Amino acid sequence: MTVPDTEVRGEPGSFRDPTNRVFYADGEVLRGLDARAAEDWRALAASDFFPPLVAAGKVCGTEPVAAARFPAPDGRPWAAVLRHERIPFVSHPYEWTFGMLRDAALLHLEVLRAALAAGFTIKDGSAYNLQWRGAHPVFIDVGSFEPARDGEPWAGYRQFCQTLLYPLLLTAHLGVDFQPWLRAQVDGIPAEQMRRLFTGARRLLPGVPTHVHLHSALQRRHAAASGSEVREQLRTAGYSRGLALATARRIERLIRRLRPRRVRSHWADYRDTCTYSAGDRAAKERFVAAALTAGPPPELVLDLGANDGRYARLAARHAGYVVAVEQDPAVADELYAALRAEEQPRVLPLVMDLADPSPGGGWRGAERAPFARRARADVVLALAVAHHLAIGRNVPLGQVVDQLADACAPGGRLLVEFVHPEDPMARRLLANRPAGLFGDYRAEVFDRLLAARCRIRRRVELPGGTRTLYEVVVGG
């Protein structure tokens, strides 16, 4: 049979499981299965537990398509090909808030419990197997389901601990933000590293004795044993599917009790301490609304420096999807909790420092795509952000403009606010900086830099007189 000439692009992060691969073709998200994985898929699709999870939106929508349309990497046909629903924006666990990671972990356990009760299991336990529709997590790794075998443990337990449970324990018990730890290690935090952090009285904190110290000790004990030897030892010891189900329930109860331990940050009070008057705020909202309703509705909007999500929510009324980026984990977590309570399907909050955005990571630096590659939006909101980068982080103003413009798709629009040096917020930032260091931080310089890179459509002075809003077209 001649395979049609279909352009297939492999997903760089899908290579660790040799039985199936995720790839893209004709604008679709697809998964190729070998003979074994295809057999598992047919059993899964015929099960009683899987279709209800898909219908409830807890597992991504999946359906079979004609396998002959899509060649496998080695040129042979797949045994089966599945088409998945497209997630609006792919994010990584180190960009999530504490509440997001906790809810993702709870969904993972819910799916696992449903699978175990029906005679299936999930062979992976990675946080990367979950994504988001707005403020709601969704399990995406359909290829990780397989029939459970008596006497075998949950194969994904180690991954679950390293990428979900341990990061939650770090923030809940030690008050340490987990995002830098996950960003630095694509496979998560090893049990041995956690063991060194939880010594003395910390050894007795909830979840630590069993899932950190005992887990680390068992890993050391079985370091030289093969996987088959460990499984045989567990069978002999009487390990059962019922024990795996009980373990999942205990971990779920633990995670439900975890809360972030943090000191309230300055940014949590920013809405009340910033220098906007009621007139400025109303004029700013009118400016943003007018830009969002001019022309076709944007498919993707980025709100950079989202704070409490005021403008992300406004954008969600007129756009297909909004990614709201906030530097402060506590502020972003408050936004997530509010969006979750509102059941908001079109705003995804993320934690990220715009002066140090997520780079590429994992194998060859491509397994996890950098934020700059994922985030090319039809409209970018950069409201009260430029001065924090230029003054607060010493980024040259021209490079600030370049970064904001690069976040736009070709022909996309950037809505950016320039806070003049005489504005109280700018004065507060400049007061702590060396005199004369920011001589180029002036409205006329910003205007010139924007005009060199973009076409300025609108320029509006806010009533207070110390802030200017721009609507520009990038590459147009």
Q: What is the per-residue pLDDT across 127-162, written as a single tens digit (0 to 9) for each?
A: 999 999 999 999 999 999 999 987 788 889 999 999
The reported pTM is 0.93
Q: How confident is the model at residue 2 (pLDDT cuts 50, 70, 90)?
A: very low
E strand residue ranges, 124-270: 130-133, 136-139, 145-147
Same domain, 415 and 326: yes
Same domain, 27 and 117: no
Query: At residue 183, does pLDDT exceed 50?
Result: yes
CA distance 41 to 37: 6
Q: How confident is the model at residue 265 (pLDDT cuts 50, 70, 90)?
A: low
- What CATH number is given to the structural domain containing 18? 3.30.200
For residue 117, is it within any domain? Answer: yes
- What CATH number is given to the structural domain containing 427? 3.40.50.150
Query: At residue 320, does pLDDT exceed 50?
Result: yes
For residue 219, the tally of other CB atoms under 10 A from its CB is 14
Same domain, 227 and 321: no
Same domain, 364 and 456: yes
Same domain, 210 and 301: no
For residue 1, is it within any domain? Answer: no
Q: What is the pLDDT of residue 1?
A: 34
Residue with tokens 């679709």, as numbered in its chain: 28
Same domain, 24 and 106: no
Question: C-alpha 123: how far from its chain's center?
Answer: 22
Same domain, 426 and 404: yes
Q: How confident is the model at residue 229 (pLDDT cuts 50, 70, 90)?
A: low
Tokens of 77: 């046909």
Tokens of 70: 């899509």
For residue 4, is it within any domain? Answer: no
For residue 284, is it within any domain? Answer: yes
* The domain boundary residue, chosen from 223, 238, 257: 257
* The domain boundary residue, chosen from 207, 226, 257: 257
Question: Residue 444 burial by CB count (10 A; 0-12/13-18/19+): exposed, middle or buried?
Answer: exposed
Same domain, 326 and 273: yes
Same domain, 366 and 234: no
Rounded to the nearest integer, the mean pLDDT of the chain is 90
Same domain, 343 and 404: yes
Q: What is the pLDDT of residue 469?
A: 97
Number of compact structural domains in the chain: 3
Residue among 169, 166, 174 nearest 192 (CA): 166
Question: Residue 360 burial by CB count (10 A; 0-12/13-18/19+): exposed, middle or buried?
Answer: middle
Task: Decide which of 221 and 158 is more confident.
Answer: 158
For residue 125, is it within any domain? Answer: yes
Domain range for 373 is 266-474
Tokens of 109: 């356990």
Residue among 393, 389, 372 nearest 302 (CA): 372
Query: At residue 164, does pLDDT exceed 80?
Result: yes
Same domain, 29 and 112: no
* The domain boundary residue, chosen from 84, 109, 132: 84
Same domain, 355 and 427: yes
For residue 288, is it within any domain? Answer: yes
For residue 330, is it within any domain? Answer: yes
For residue 2, is it within any domain? Answer: no
Rg (CA), the chain: 25
pLDDT digits (tens, 9 = 90+) for 291-310: 999 989 999 999 999 999 99
